[in-house]
Amino acid sequence: MRNKDTIAAIATGTTNAGISIIRISGTDAISVADAIFVSKKGKKKLSEVKTHTLHYGSVFDGELMVDEVLVSVMKAPNTYTTEDIVEINCHGGIIVTKKILELVLRHGARIAEPGEFTKRAFLNGRIDLSQAEAVIDLIHATNEQAVKNSVRQLNGNLCRKIKEIRDSVLRDTAFIEAALDDPEHISLDGFTDTLTEHTEANLKEINVLLKNAEDGKIIKEGIRTVILGKPNAGKSTLMNVLVGEERAIVTDIPGTTRDTLEELIQVKGIVLRIIDTAGIRHTQDTVEKIGVERAKTEAEGADFVIYVADASRELDENDEAVISMIKEKKAVVLLNKSDLSMKVTKEELEEKTGKQVLLISAKEETGMDAFAEAVEEMFYSGLIDKKEEVFITNLRHKQALLEAKESLEKVMDSLAMDMPEDFYSIDLMNAYQMLGEIIGEAVDEDLVDIIFKEFCMGK
């Protein structure tokens, strides 16, 4: 029954601003607005106006005018929720905005739950679940590529791809079931070749989506990047250069950095969640020792490591410790202080680390372009901007694709072993169901509630 209520919420930030918007949706949205709104042009009620029109007037609390407003009227079904929607655009003061919301609630609406407007759009069939999740991704996007990918999903690119695969799986399942029910009129002779062809094609499509999931994670979350090196190698100076401001304390005293410092930056449009760490060395200082342990822990969980080596000093046991930590990691080595007399060569460090080594001077801010190009090449070489593919950014989608893939691989195994046809049907239907979970056609109510609770109140 709550899905039939008329709901309302502040759709803009609850802070002082030029404009605030109170959004109302539901069967009584227009009558609720009519109860508090008076047009400046005559006595025409909002219930009498055309859909998708804007009206100037005032909001009243009884005889007391609260604010001058513009009211948008959008009538069902061509609205975001497919219900009647009214949006009251008022001045952006916190007090006046909350006062108008209170009036709306007093006249018959209830406060919307987080994400309830978008949830209604999903429940009313306007968007599928993957498109609904793209809305929250779009709101939380931290870079241009994340915005582009969210818009593609919002436009239904992922939904269309999933439906194509599901339709293929369903047709094959239906044919098998029909043949098993009516073997006199429907023959399965030669169908194993057809099923093999279809299943291989569907597996190929799923593998493409899964392959893109790594890039999708990069787009959405950024790359967890840890800066490692011994004390005074220039890690904090590099951090400040990358961030573009003095975020990390820089001194000539070894051990200045004693804790981790995290910032979000962009390199060639690629988001790095970059973490500056304490210098790696043996120390008796209790606080610094904790910092060194935290640095090692961060390195273990990193997607990408930047090893900053000091070109002006010989490599020592502390460098050897860092080199051992990055052996199995995706990493780049920055040979810093290359503007000084060099006691370590690029070739020497490449041989020891097996990683790409770049000459830089963080203090002079040289070599940064080469570093940016290395990051771009290491991850996806800018190809995301050049393709219209959908990149899986949602862990739930990835897990469903993995389970669908496993089921289709079982179909291939059954075909190879010439198993009875009903074996195919079981795994085909499981793949169909798992793909349906992505777009919300086979998902339970509790999961839907969890997904929409991540949204803000007015969305």
pLDDT for 380 beyond 70: no
pLDDT for 238 beyond 70: yes
Q: What does the pLDDT read at residue 103? A: 97
Q: How far apart are CA 171 and CA 153, in angstroms?
A: 25
List of residues 6+ apart from 341 with CB closer than 8 A = 312
Confidence category of residue 1, pLDDT binned at 50, 70, 90: very low
Q: What fold, for 222-385? A: Rossmann fold (3.40.50)
Work out the number of other CB atoms within 10 angstroms of the CB of residue 100. 24
Reported as a single tens digit per residue, the pLDDT across 168-221 is: 999 999 988 888 888 888 888 888 899 999 999 999 999 988 887 766 666 666
Q: What does the pLDDT read at residue 2? A: 59
SS3 string of the chain?
CHHHCCEEEECCCCCCEEEEEEEEECCCHHHHHHCCEEECCCCCCHHHCCCCEEEEEEEEECCEEEEEEEEEEECCCCCCCCCCEEEEEEEECHHHHHHHHHHHHHCCCEECCCCHHHHHHHHCCCCCHHHHHHHHHHHHCCCHHHHHHHHHHHCCHHHHHHHHHHHHHHHHHHHHHHHHHCCCCCCCCCHHHHHHHHHHHHHHHHHHHHHHHHHHHHHHHCEEEEEECCCCCCHHHHHHHHHCCCCCCCCCCCCCCCCCEEEEEEECCEEEEEEECCCCCCCCCHHHHHHHHHHHHHHHCCCEEEEEEECCCCCCHHHHHHHHHHCCCCEEEEEECCCCCCCCCHHHHHHHHCCEEEECECCCCECHHHHHHHHHHHHCCCHHHHCCCCCCCCHHHHHHHHHHHHHHHHHHHHHHCCCCHHHHHHHHHHHHHHHHHHHCCCCCHHHHHHHHCCCCCCC
Q: What does the pLDDT read at residue 401? A: 94
Q: What does the pLDDT read at residue 294? A: 84
Give CA separation, 339 vs 232, 310, 367, 395, in Å.
Answer: 15, 11, 11, 45
Q: What does the pLDDT read at residue 259? A: 47
Cβ-defined contacts of 35-42 (< 8 Å, 24+): 35/107, 35/108, 36/60, 36/61, 36/66, 36/100, 36/103, 36/104, 36/107, 37/69, 37/71, 37/88
List of residues 6+ apart from 169 with CB closer than 8 A = 198, 202, 408, 428, 431, 432, 435
Reported as a single tens digit per residue, the pLDDT across 48-68 is: 999 999 999 999 999 999 999
Q: What does the pLDDT read at residue 302? A: 84
Reported as a single tens digit per residue, the pLDDT across 382-424 is: 444 445 566 787 888 899 999 999 999 999 999 999 888 778 8
Reported as a single tens digit per residue, the pLDDT across 109-150 is: 999 998 899 999 998 989 888 888 878 777 766 666 677 777
Q: How far apart are CA 342 and CA 67, in angstroms?
A: 70
Average pLDDT, the chain: 84
Backbone angles phi, psi at 168, to 5 degrees: -65, -45
Q: What is the pTM of this model?
A: 0.66
| Domain coordinates in residue numbering, the chain | 2-112, 132-217+394-443, 222-385
CATH code of the region 2-112? 3.30.1360.120
| Among candidate residues 329, 320, 331, the one with its CA nearest the CA of residue 282 | 320
pLDDT for 151 beyond 50: yes
Which is it for strands 356-359 and 331-336: parallel, antiparallel or unpaired?
Answer: parallel
Confidence category of residue 248, pLDDT binned at 50, 70, 90: very low
CATH of 132-217+394-443, one of 2.40.33.10, 1.20.120.430, 3.40.228.10, 1.10.540.10: 1.20.120.430
Q: What does the pLDDT read at residue 276? A: 83
With beta carbons less than 8 A apart as the criterion, state whether 273 and 223 touch: yes
Q: What does the pLDDT read at residue 246? A: 60
Reported as a single tens digit per residue, the pLDDT across 329-376 is: 889 999 989 888 888 889 998 898 899 999 998 888 898 899 888 888
153-179 mean pLDDT: 89
Q: What does the pLDDT read at residue 250? A: 43
pLDDT for 258 beyond 50: no
User: Sheet containing 223-228: which strands, arranged edge to edge?
Assistant: 261-267, 270-276, 223-228, 304-310, 331-336, 356-359
Q: How far apart are CA 296 and CA 62, in angstroms?
A: 65
Which is it for strands 331-336 and 261-267: parallel, antiparallel or unpaired?
Answer: unpaired
Which is it for strands 53-61 and 270-276: parallel, antiparallel or unpaired?
Answer: unpaired
pLDDT for 314 beyond 80: yes
Domains 2-112 and 222-385 share a fold: no
